[in-house]
Amino acid sequence: MPQTPTPTAVADAHTRIIGWFDAHARDLPWRRDECTPWGVMVSEFMLQQTPVARVLPVWTEWMRRWPTPADLAAEPSPEILRAWGRLGYPRRALRLHAAAQTIMDEHDGEVPNTAAELKALPGVGEYTSAAIACFAFDQPEVVVDTNIRRVHARAFSGRALPEKSLTRAEMSLATELMPADPEQACRWNAATMELGALVCTARSPQCRVCPVSASCAWLVAGSPEAHYQPKGQSWAGTDRQLRGAIMALLRSHDGGTALTAIRQRVEESLSPDDAQFDRCVSSLVADGLAERTGDELSLPRS
Ligand code: SF4
């Protein structure tokens, strides 16, 4: 059973991990002082399922085109889906658009500054509301993403991986680990997340350069194996791949495209499942990502 870390161990981890962050944090545009709360919010939507390297160019262009919620709210959705490009999970783009419209309707065009108000926006869940409140408004919210969970599991609980889904025990540990000072609390969240992204990675933790290697509970326990085998994300032949291929085609056309032509063009993404193409078309339409008119498919027209 993992021991609760002592206050001295927690204070030591704060100093070491925040100190490491001060020296090694990546200079990301949404972390800079001049970044607006809207810029932070856009980054959090994009980073939900996509690595930083792929988000960077899309975020930069997005903020150039739509620097405020008002700019995005006024844009028709086809343009937004085009700009989302190949970030994946494009429903996030529609939700961000809907969130911008709610910000205009209910918050005078300003991103709200509390986690509770943020959580009421379309597409904003527990994690995203806490992250925006913390990183945009310095609110000491407990932020728990995959990277933070992995660092907590290893450094404090002595396990190779956290549980498959977030548990109460993890939330209590994360809450316990938060520094009392609000500014430090936000820095702690960002620092632990960065440590998980750059050093304490899922497959090959770089313990030799880790600031908490001397006290890491996982190393102390002899680096035990994970208590389950994480599933790799399959891609080839999946509906996700086919939906992505169809969306890429729709983004490259202004008008509608015949379904037969789309089917031919995405041939190499099709699995042997005969129903897959129709199923993916129907799900794209149901998700509001595509519009079907007779035998043609297009991006939504408004
Ligand atoms: S010492 Fe290794 S396992 Fe422990 S927190 Fe650091 S990188 Fe992760």
Give the residue, by CA position, lying nearest to ligand 1 atom 1. 213
Torsion of CA 216, 221, 222, 226, to 10 degrees: -90
Instruction: Give me the phi and psi of 293, to 5 degrees please.
Output: -125, 105
Ligand 1 atom nearest residue 210's Cα? 6
Look at residue 293 in the predicted model and tell me its pLDDT: 94
201, two tokens: 């990675």
Q: Mean pLDDT over all residues of the chain? A: 95
163 near 175, Cβ under 8 Å? no
Question: Rounded to an integer, what distance in angstroms lies between the CA atom of residue 30 and that of residue 38?
Answer: 9
The active-site residue out of 34, 44, 176, 183 is 44
Look at residue 141 in the predicted model and tell me its pLDDT: 97
Q: Does 36 score more than 60 pLDDT?
A: yes
Ligand 1 atom nearest residue 216's Cα? 4
Look at residue 28 in the predicted model and tell me its pLDDT: 98
170 is catalytic: no
Which residues are 296's β-sheet partners?
Answer: 258, 293
Look at residue 179 in the predicted model and tell me its pLDDT: 97
181 Cα: distance to centroid of ligand 1 (angstroms): 25
pLDDT band, residue 3 (cuts 50/70/90): low
Question: Rounded to an integer, what distance in angstroms lies between the CA atom of residue 14 and that of residue 18?
Answer: 6
**What's the pLDDT tens digit per position in 142-167?**
999 999 999 999 999 999 999 999 99
175 Cα: distance to centroid of ligand 1 (angstroms): 20
**What's the pLDDT tens digit per position in 188-246?**
999 999 999 999 999 999 999 999 999 999 999 999 999 888 877 778 889 999 999 99
Q: Does the beta carbon of 212 sit less than 6 angstroms from any atom of ligand 1?
A: yes
CA distances from 161 to 74, 221, 223, 231, 300 (A): 43, 14, 11, 12, 41
**What's the pLDDT tens digit per position in 115-148?**
999 999 999 999 999 999 999 999 999 999 999 9
SS3 of residue 257 by DSSP: strand
Cα 267 from chain centroid (whole Å): 30
Half-sphere exposure for 16 (CA within 13 Å, toward CB): 16
Q: Does the beta carbon of 213 sit less than 6 angstroms from any atom of ligand 1?
A: yes
Question: Rounded to an integer, what distance in angstroms lies between the CA atom of residue 297 and that of residue 75?
Answer: 21
Instruction: Determine the residue type at 178.
Output: M
Domains in the chain, please, with CATH? 239-298 (1.10.10.10)
pLDDT band, residue 73 (cuts 50/70/90): very high
pLDDT band, residue 266 (cuts 50/70/90): very high
Q: Does 302 score more than 80 pLDDT?
A: no
pLDDT band, residue 270 (cuts 50/70/90): confident
pLDDT band, residue 2 (cuts 50/70/90): low
Contacts of 15 (CB under 8 A, 6+ apart): none
156 Cα: distance to centroid of ligand 1 (angstroms): 10
Q: Does the beta carbon of 219 sit less than 6 angstroms from any atom of ligand 1?
A: yes
Most confident segment among 66-70, 84-88, 264-268, 269-273? 66-70
Instruction: Determine the residue type at 292.
Output: R
Q: Does the beta carbon of 210 sit less than 6 angstroms from any atom of ligand 1?
A: yes
Q: Does the beta carbon of 207 sit less than 6 angstroms from any atom of ligand 1?
A: yes
